[in-house]
Amino acid sequence: MKMSTKKLQWLMFGWFFLFPFLPVPGYWITIGNYIGLYSIVALGLVLLTGIGGLTSFGQAAFVGLGAYTTAYLSTTLGWSPWVGLGAGLVVSGLAAGLIGSITVRLSGHFLPLATIAWGLSLYYLFGTLEFLGKYDGLSGIPPLSLFGLDLSSPRVMYGMIWFCLGGCLWLVLNLLNSRPGRAIRALAKGRTMPEAMGINTAQYKILIFVLAALMASLSGWLYAHLQRSVSATPFGLNMGIEYLFMAVVGGVGHVWGAILGAVVMTGLKSQLQDWLPLLLGSNGNFEIVVFGVMIVLLLLWSRDGLWPWVAAVWAKFHPPEPEVVAPAIAPDGYGDMKRRAKPEPGALILEVNEARKQFGGLVAVKDMTFEIKAGEVVGLIGPNGAGKSTMFNLVTGVLPASSGEIRFGGERIDQLDSRRIVQMGIGRSFQHVHLIPHLSVLENVAMGAHLRGKSSPLSAALRTDRHEEAQLLFLAAEQIRRVGLGDYMHTPAGSLALGQQRILEIARALCTDPTLLLLDEPAAGLRLKEKEALASLIRQLKGEGMSVLLVEHDMDFVMGLTDRLVVMEFGSKIAEGLPVEIQNNEAVLAAYLGGIE
Amino acid sequence: MDFGIFAVLAQDGVTNGAVYALLAMALVLVFSVTRIIFLPQGEFIGFGALTLAALQGGQFPKLIWLLIGIGILTFLVELGSALRQVRYKPLPKRHLMWSGVENLCYPLFVWALAHTFNWQGMPMVVQVLFTLGVTVPLGIMIYRIAFQPMAEASVLVLLIVSVGVHFAMLGMGLFIFGPEGSTTLPFTDWSTEIGAMLVSGQSVVVMVVSASLIGGLYLFFDRTLYGKALRATAVNRKGAQLVGIGTTQAGRMAFGLAAALGTLAGTLIAPLNTVGYDTGFVVALKGFVAAIVGGLASYPLAAAGAILVGLLESYSSFWASAYKEVIVFTLIIPVLAWRSLTSGHGDEE
Amino acid sequence: MSTDNAKPVLETRNLCVRYGKVEALRAASISLRAGEIVTVIGPNGAGKSSLLNAIMGALPSEGQAEGEVLYQGHDVSHHAIELRLGKGLALVPEKRELFTSMTVEDNLVLGAYRRRKDGWSYRDGLEGIYSVFPRLKERRKQLAGTMSGGERQMVAIGRALMSDPKVLMLDEPSLGLAPRVMAEVFHVISHLRETGVATLLIEQNSRAALQVSDYGYVLEVGDITLEGKARDLAQNPKVIEAYLGAKH
């Protein structure tokens, strides 16, 4: 449940800040420093894995890039560590951008595999290069200093490290709670839904990979100036794996889980390294056995890590409040938001002309021709396997047409991708609902408003997007009220009934400001009452001047609702006309009831 | 570089490539049947080589202790899951009995065998077979404990589990075998000269064994019912379930085969290289680079990739020996770039 | 054909299927006897496929079945697919789920994966299938993925028959087939009863299905709303209405 446990979080965090001022032993400070360093890396992994659905075992290599860059610049060249920070970030960012852009088009498991190979290769490189001191590494790295303040003591570095972690947390939390943040959350749902909202999935995937690498690089920079020397070992593949384990143990879907995971793993590791050699009677990094077994067990029992458990205990005492709230009145400039001009009622908006789709030898859509005029509700019906879904995919740009033409508002769209098509004003829903279940109805619907804003990830992270964000949320809230889900604004989308989820998807599609709405089997699996609610919503939208194409199997549902019906069988149009005509059409009767001679 | 060196490097490259090919086959097999990216493959290389070395050195192969331990654990897992279902159906006594034979009695039997015979004097083939008798059940047990309970999880979750298993096995390997590596006896001292090139019998054995294993795998998949069942599972999981090829059974077969291929790869490289408990991982990853050339789906492409990796490694060890590993692992970047350009749209998970 | 006092070979009692919060099937009770063809008709999303998958034990992992599935009087509802298959249940799924990159003959042979009885050989089994579907014999070396829709359906049915089922379940066998091919498939189905196989058929093409069936059920949004002799159902105005939305 995406509800606020903010108090607990910042309480926990504040406690860590006080830590060095207490008379604690130096060893604890060292552990605290490592927890901070690891948390920064794990935070990047939460963004990448838990929220974006990608993963990397190579984060240690990015830590290494950050550490070695500053180490080399500040020792051999004698440059300021602050130059080293910038250079490290640039190097890691470029490397991540390159790897990301290569793997982003491949299926999800190629990225982690690539990061394993890449992590190993960089590790060997660190250990081989003459100017990086081979396996001995570089030493004599100067301490950090800030406005003349010397940061060489571990206690002072503690403040620096946790300040950086706090900054990263703040930026990541801001980013997630924004237009680009919603786009990132949508990535975990595959490609079709976000693209249909106009989200460039490839770009956002590369973005989070780069962001995770930048955080790792920052951690490496801090590490180098804390440790004052670097060598290849802490940047090997094993450490890369341990970073991922931290994120998974803490709760890979939760920003605060990164810190929790780093605390648990670092504490456990230091204890195990003390005890295991005594127990087993020989030296070695036996703690990896415990880590490995722990991860397997954890994934068996709870894929979500430890954080939700902590949050649930806290929530018992402090009932959560919604985190994302739409403004109650329209924000300034809301009325000036760009809206598409409505076509004249009766004007031709969608023309499908001889559209054909062939998969190998199979012709799924055979030269279909039909049209939709502005303000019309048209039903595309036919028995199962008639090619309706393929036809739907051609219009929404999920598939390109093999031949023929599809025009929307006079422009050819048959070869455009879905991201381009939604920009032109075709909104859609999905037969199998594509929602982020733990996000609220408001946040889910606001995903549809992606194209209505422009704010960049940077402005989101720095909160300079708040005015636009308020507009987008108000827009989303208006659509939610428009479809009648106003009472469920802050309910997690996953807890709605199927009928309400379908309606939520319509609200999300309405956020894209469409002139044509395409609904894919919206009545499938709905109860009678839910069907009635859906039908009355569609009538209301028609009353507001919306054009709708309903792809349906259920004839009962479309009969009273549509102006016109197009009937498909075996990929071809077998009839078209008013619902009454279709009901008595012999060919349609045969197609639906069938019969054999 | 004269032709002599060129030829020697080529021979080295193809020899190593043949081993990588075996590993790549196993990885493609496991992935296509179970969707698991089988990182612990590397541990079987090390475990196999070190067990063979122990047998040849006249020592007790300590891996058997692990087999006994994991066997007990596996039986407990089976018992636990049977007890949890006891509300719905009677205790599957036959099943538990078989599980007891497999996981409790068999490891003890292996232990007894290890003590009864003088393995040092046996022919190498028998030693290798005995080694397989230890490692293959281990692979099957690991499938039962770590992967079978979450056969439906996403590729990503399975990959993380795989990494967890890799960690656990690596640590146990260190505990069992210690940090020192070993080598095994050469297969043969024979060698011959073809033109300017010295052909070592060792290389010939590796290539012949790899080639015949690959041929054997082909026949297994093409001719036998079990092989066809595995292929069927890879092609269509639901279809396979509907004809009664259980996901579990297919997973066990795939893991058993992968463990066997990993072990054999270990015994093939052990006469020439010192193999330690952790050597296998890097070797297996080279198999991975090869498997990725084939998109984790195509056997012939994976085999071709393996030879490519072997040759690249061999020539780069001549030109820039310090950067050998760097070059081999960086190969994955152009390979993925090529796959990315030739594949159409990104797939959905 | 079927005597009323014969014991049903397959029976479900209050079978429910849930996918998370979505209830796909509610308390469905149906039965069929040896040699009988029973059809379940109903609109999309009514839970027809869930019914068959629950009987076979082949629901996707997020699906949960409750209630009893009795095969020859014994509850098999907690048995794995392999066991149900071994007892004599077989399902031809809506999507066929063929092994597309394998030959027709391999597909059929794998159908008998669980069948290891004395005195039975693959050769005999294959000949049996080829006598029902002569076209498959001509194409036995062809890859299943390269066949036409109708031929694929024959392979799917043939593969299920190779396991020597007592109850054959067919999920939308006519889906995507041209009328002539569809007629052929229904012809085969109607001849299966002579071998004593009971067939449970799910069809959208309700008229054709009712023509070959002995008995029928109408399933709507998870509930069985109507049942009766297939002849009577075909004449029932409510059935016709359910498919066209109004009387005519």
Q: How confident is the model at residue B42 (pLDDT cuts 50, 70, 90)?
A: very high
- Segment A70-88 shows an average pLDDT of 93
- Segment A213-240 shows an average pLDDT of 94
Higher pLDDT, A63 or A319: A63
Q: pTM of the full predicted structure?
A: 0.89
- Segment C41-49 shows an average pLDDT of 77
Beta-strand relationship, A411-412 and A572-577: unpaired
Higher pLDDT, C44 or B111: B111
Tokens encoding A524: 């499938």
Whether the CB of C143 is below 8 Å from some CB of chain B: the reply is no
For chain A, list the contacting chains (3+ Cβ pairs, <8 Å): B, C
Q: Say whether B242 and C113 touch across the interface (CB within 8 A).
A: no
Residue A343: name the closest of A429, A426, A430, A428 by CA. A426
For chain B, list the contacting chains (3+ Cβ pairs, <8 Å): A, C
Q: Say whether A594 and C209 touch across the interface (CB within 8 A).
A: yes
Whether the CB of C81 is below 8 Å from some CB of chain B: the reply is yes
- Chain B positions touching A289 (Cβ under 8 A) are 167-168, 171-172, 175
| Interacting residues of A22 by C-beta distance below 8 A, sequence separation 6+ | none
| Interacting residues of A396 by C-beta distance below 8 A, sequence separation 6+ | A196, A418, A421, A426, A428, A518
Q: What is the pLDDT of residue A594?
A: 57
- Segment A535-544 shows an average pLDDT of 93
Q: Say whether C82 and B236 touch across the interface (CB within 8 A).
A: no
Q: Say whether A592 and C243 touch across the interface (CB within 8 A).
A: yes
Whether the CB of B285 is below 8 Å from some CB of chain A: the reply is yes
Q: How confident is the model at residue C245 (pLDDT cuts 50, 70, 90)?
A: very low
Distance CA B210, CA B208 (A): 6
What is the three-class DSSP state of B284? helix
Whether the CB of A532 is below 8 Å from some CB of chain C: the reply is no
Query: Per-residue pLDDT for B18 more than 60?
Result: yes
Residue-wise pLDDT tens digits, A356-414: 998 877 788 999 999 999 999 999 988 777 888 899 999 999 999 999 999 999 999 99
Residue-wise pLDDT tens digits, B166-175: 999 999 999 9
Helix (H) or strand (E) holding A20: none
- Segment C193-198 shows an average pLDDT of 87
Closest-CA residue of B relative to A298 is B161
Tokens encoding C20: 């998370």
Q: Say whether B242 and C81 touch across the interface (CB within 8 A).
A: yes
Q: Say whether C245 and A525 touch across the interface (CB within 8 A).
A: no
Closest-CA residue of B relative to C162 is B243
User: Which among A384, A556, A594 has the least Cβ separation from residue C208?
Assistant: A594
User: Which among B326, B328, B336 has the least Cβ separation from residue A106?
Assistant: B336
Residue-wise pLDDT tens digits, A1-48: 334 456 667 777 777 777 778 888 888 899 999 999 999 999 999 999
| Bridge partners (DSSP) listed for residue A149 | A146
Query: Per-residue pLDDT for A470 more than 90?
Result: yes
Q: Dihedral (C-alpha) A272, A278, A284, A289: value to the nearest 10 degrees? A: -50
Query: Per-residue pLDDT for A108 more than 80?
Result: no
Q: What is the pLDDT of residue A332?
A: 85
Q: Sign of the CA dihedral C190, C196, C197, C201?
A: positive
Q: What is the pLDDT of residue C195?
A: 84
Closest-CA residue of C relative to A568 is C176
Distance from CA of B243 to the nearest CA of C (A): 5
Residue type at A543? G
Q: Say whether B232 and C61 touch across the interface (CB within 8 A).
A: no
Q: What is the pLDDT of residue B206?
A: 92
The DSSP code for A563 is: S
- Chain B positions touching A55 (Cβ under 8 A) are 156, 159-160
Q: How confident is the model at residue B281 (pLDDT cuts 50, 70, 90)?
A: very high
Q: Enumerate the H helices of A483-527 as residue ranges.
A: 498-511
Q: What is the pLDDT of residue C45?
A: 67
User: Which among C61, C95, C113 has the least Cβ separation from residue B243?
Assistant: C113
Beta-strand relationship, C63-71 and C10-19: antiparallel
Q: Say whether B89 and C78 touch across the interface (CB within 8 A).
A: yes
For residue A361, the tally of other CB atoms under 10 A from its CB is 7
- Segment A64-78 shows an average pLDDT of 94
Beta-strand relationship, A138-139 and A145-146: unpaired
What is the three-class DSSP state of A474? helix
Q: Dihedral (C-alpha) A555, A558, A559, A563: value to the nearest 10 degrees? A: -140
Whether the CB of B198 is below 8 Å from some CB of chain C: the reply is no
Q: What is the pLDDT of residue B231?
A: 92
Higher pLDDT, A108 or A233: A233
Q: What is the pLDDT of residue A324?
A: 85
Q: What is the pLDDT of residue A447?
A: 95
Q: What is the pLDDT of residue C244?
A: 47
Helices A201-227 and A179-186 meet at what angle, rounded to 10?
A: 100
Higher pLDDT, C67 or A587: C67
Tokens encoding B147: 């992967």
Q: What is the pLDDT of residue A461?
A: 93
Q: How confident is the model at residue C44 (pLDDT cuts 50, 70, 90)?
A: low
Q: What is the pLDDT of residue A248?
A: 93
Query: Per-residue pLDDT for B347 more than 70?
Result: no
User: Which among C44, C149, C246 has the least Cβ separation from residue A384?
Assistant: C44
User: Which among A114, A241, A300 has the least Cβ separation from residue B167?
Assistant: A241
- Segment C220-247 shows an average pLDDT of 76
- Segment A84-112 shows an average pLDDT of 89
Q: Say whether B244 and C109 touch across the interface (CB within 8 A).
A: no
Q: How confident is the model at residue A498 (pLDDT cuts 50, 70, 90)?
A: confident
Q: How confident is the model at residue B56 (pLDDT cuts 50, 70, 90)?
A: very high
Q: How confident is the model at residue A511 (pLDDT cuts 50, 70, 90)?
A: very high
Q: How confident is the model at residue C243 (pLDDT cuts 50, 70, 90)?
A: low
In CATH terms, the fold of domain B3-58+118-342 is ABC transporter involved in vitamin B12 uptake, BtuC (1.10.3470)
Tokens encoding A38: 């690891």
User: Which among C43, C186, C248 has the least Cβ separation from residue A553?
Assistant: C43
Q: Say whether C44 and A597 touch across the interface (CB within 8 A).
A: no
Tokens encoding C175: 């889906």
User: Which among B152, B228, B238 has the least Cβ separation from residue C110?
Assistant: B228
Residue-wise pLDDT tens digits, C123-180: 888 998 999 888 899 999 999 988 888 888 999 999 999 998 999 999 988 877 777 7
- Chain A positions touching B177 (Cβ under 8 A) are none
- Respond yes or no on whether ipTM tops 0.95: no
Q: What is the pLDDT of residue A40?
A: 97
Q: What is the pLDDT of residue C5?
A: 54
Q: What is the pLDDT of residue C61?
A: 79
Query: Per-residue pLDDT for C203 more than 90?
Result: no
Helix (H) or strand (E) holding C175: none
- Chain C positions touching B228 (Cβ under 8 A) are 102, 106, 109-110
**What rounded mean pLDDT belongs to chain B?**
90
Q: Whole-angstrom distance between the N-terminal and C-terminal Cα of chain C?
A: 34
Query: Per-residue pLDDT for A113 more than 70?
Result: yes
**What rounded mean pLDDT belongs to chain C?**
85
Q: What is the pLDDT of residue A597?
A: 43
Task: Check if the beta carbon of residue C90 is closer than 8 Å to that of residue C165.
Answer: yes
Q: Say whether A559 and C207 touch across the interface (CB within 8 A).
A: no
Closest-CA residue of C relative to A582 is C244
- Segment A348-359 shows an average pLDDT of 92
Share of chain A above pLDDT 90, in %: 59
Domains of chain A (ranges plus CATH)? 6-317 (1.10.3470), 347-425+514-530+545-597 (3.40.50.300), 435-513 (no CATH)
| Interacting residues of A134 by C-beta distance below 8 A, sequence separation 6+ | A127, A128
How many Cα neighbours within 13 Å face the side chain of B31? 27
